[in-house]
Chains A and B, each alone.
Chain A
Amino acid sequence: MTDYKNLKLIATSNPHIRSSETTRSIMLDVIIAMLPALVWAIIWFGVKALTLTAVSVIGCMFWEWLYRKLMKKPQSVGDLSAVVTGMLLAFVCPVTTPYWMIIIGGFFSIIVVKQLFGGIGKNFVNPALAGRAFLLGSYAGVMTTWIDATQNKAPLMGSTTDIVTAATPLAYMKTGNMAGLTETYSVMDMFLGKTGGSLGEISAAMLILGGLYLIWRKVINWQTPVAYIATVAVLSFLFPKAGSSMEWMLYSVFGGGLMLGAFFMATDYATSPVTKKGQLIFGIGCGLFTVLIRYFGSYNEGVCYSIMVMNLCVALIDKYTKPTRFGVVKSDKKEAAAK
């Protein structure tokens, strides 16, 4: 006789569309998309880029595993989301970040931001960005030390006090020092990633490559990244702080973490709007805040905070961009709104 009770039949209402897409396969695609940028970071900054990313990934996986274990919840470390968080966290930190620090960042990302709110899909801001914000708030000195990779590679172990540092393109742009900027970095340097900055954010070319892969694989929609980058481009073209509009725009778009943020951070499922219209609004908001922080804030870079601010607005955006159900007419809508 068949033991119906233990058959594990899943009963859901129709329609019964099956997709081979799982969290795991999506995360795997994201990881693949990040590899070009990682390879470039290793070439440019040295092997420390790889080891730091590895430590970050292992740290995040460990925290995820530990929390689920201690709280006696179903194990979720296999869905690879912790791997993505770990990689993104390493990508937004300077390559000279000590290993212990990135593990603390991972603790904040995974335990505080993700697991305490219920695990994957329940976090209200991007865990990797929250981890970075925590590290920046806690260890501001270390988190704003940018190695000059043309002079020296990042040391694999030990002290980083002797390294030669360099100002990032955004630091030049903050003060409007266009002459110093064009002398140090050409637009091509910015595009390829021959600049100073966080581990994975420097090469716009590699990140665009990864982003296109994600769009092609239909893991992300084009709306958020395009709206985000276009907003920054238009605003910086219209209001250049120094130099010509075109030049200022190109430096603004390729500088800092914009590409990384637009393709990999702002598109996170749990913390971005559901509808395409909402994603457009989300991207425009991110772009607006990024430019505002870069122009008027006390930090050089605004990508991290702008995405986090917009993450908090997602519930509102979703509410106002909710598509009308089929068959609902205007009077019904009014009635529903009045309730």
Chain B
Amino acid sequence: MNLKKQFMEGLLTQNPVLVQVLGMCSTMAITTSFFNGLGMGVAVLVILTLSNVIISLIRKIVPDKIRIAMFIVVIAGFVTMVDLFLQAFVPALAESLGVFIPLIVVNCIILGRAESFSYKNGVAASFFDGIFQGIGYTLVLLVMCIIREFLGAGTFGGGLLGVDGKGIQILPSQFPAGMLTLPVGGFLVLGCLIAAMQWALSKSKK
């Protein structure tokens, strides 16, 4: 087990969003305010870690033929639990993330890590893989949220800070380009981030 390598992979060299290009749907759909990004990121982190641990635990007894079905059952179970807990205790977040919480079931990051990592590795390594990949995902979401929220609404910390949780207004309200908070803005920002990441990675290799 190589913690440092796993950490670097999760955050940079194998970043789930920017390098593996997994979980695009939620990344583009919910990154409109800081609170959304944080909530989604943490939800995925928790589900990913739990499912990684469980799948790693049962990997020896799961017959190869039905492993995907088993993964989905385990993941769907955790997602539903998180969904219910959010609805019960953080209704504001559940409301603004809406259908994207149930959709974590089909988030490729979780199934992807189950298939490519935790099904082949020990419990501890899978646990840390879940944490680091989750952090990598959350960080990208937060960066996207901050960019899109600042340029699209002129605020920072939407849903969390400021009056009525509307965020702290930095740009006067007539300037922000509202298009960035629309889905098309998600594509634009994500495209630029992926390009920047590839550029940085290719530079560091040289």
Chains A and B touch each other in the complex, with CB atoms below 8 Å apart = yes
Stretch of B42-50, B66-74, B84-92, B178-186 at the chain-chain interface:
B178-186
Is A104's CB under 8 angstroms from B177's CB?
Answer: yes
Number of interface residues of B (CB under 8 A): 12
Is B175's CB under 8 angstroms from A134's CB?
Answer: no
Per-residue interface assignment for chain B, residues 141 to 167, with 1 indicating a CB less than 8 Å from any chain A CB and 0 otherwise: 000000000001000000000000000
Is A139's CB under 8 angstroms from B188's CB?
Answer: no
Distance to closest chain A CB from B202 (angstroms) = 15
Is A137's CB under 8 angstroms from B184's CB?
Answer: yes
Q: Which residues of A contact B182 (CB under 8 A)?
A: 137
Per-residue interface assignment for chain A, residues 113 to 151, with 1 indicating a CB less than 8 Å from any chain B CB and 0 otherwise: 000100000000000000000100111100000000000
Q: Does A100 contact B (CB under 8 A)?
A: yes
Is B177's CB under 8 angstroms from A138's CB?
Answer: yes
Distance to closest chain B CB from A59 (angstroms) = 15
Q: Does A28 contact B (CB under 8 A)?
A: no
Q: Which residues of B contact A112 (CB under 8 A)?
A: 188
Distance to closest chain B CB from A13 (angstroms) = 34
Q: Which residues of B contact A116 (CB under 8 A)?
A: 192, 195
Distance to closest chain A CB from B203 (angstroms) = 14
Q: Which residues of B contact A137 (CB under 8 A)?
A: 178-179, 182, 184
CA distance A140 to B174 in the complex (A): 11
Distance to closest chain B CB from A72 (angstroms) = 14
Q: Which residues of A contact B192 (CB under 8 A)?
A: 116
Name the CB-closest residue of A to B175: A100
Is A138's CB under 8 angstroms from B188's CB?
Answer: no
Q: Which residues of B contact A100 (CB under 8 A)?
A: 175
Q: Which residues of B contact A138 (CB under 8 A)?
A: 152, 176-180
Distance to closest chain A CB from B108 (angstroms) = 26
Q: Which residues of A contact B179 (CB under 8 A)?
A: 134, 137-138
Distance to closest chain B CB from A279 (angstroms) = 28
Q: Which residues of A contact B180 (CB under 8 A)?
A: 138
Choice from B176, B177, B195 contacting A134 with Cβ under 8 Å = B177
Name the CB-closest residue of B to A100: B175
CA distance A104 to B178 in the complex (A): 12
CA distance A70 to B152 in the complex (A): 25
CA distance A139 to B178 in the complex (A): 7
Interface positions of A from 78 to 122, Cβ below 8 Å from B: 100, 104, 112, 116
CA distance A112 to B151 in the complex (A): 15
Q: Which residues of A contact B188 (CB under 8 A)?
A: 112
The 8 closest A-B pairs by CB, nearest first: A137-B179, A138-B177, A138-B179, A138-B178, A134-B179, A137-B182, A104-B177, A137-B178
- Chain A residues with a Cβ under 8 A of chain B: 100, 104, 112, 116, 134, 137-140
20 CB < 8 A contacts A-B: A100-B175, A104-B177, A112-B188, A116-B192, A116-B195, A134-B177, A134-B179, A137-B178, A137-B179, A137-B182, A137-B184, A138-B152, A138-B176, A138-B177, A138-B178, A138-B179, A138-B180, A139-B177, A139-B178, A140-B178
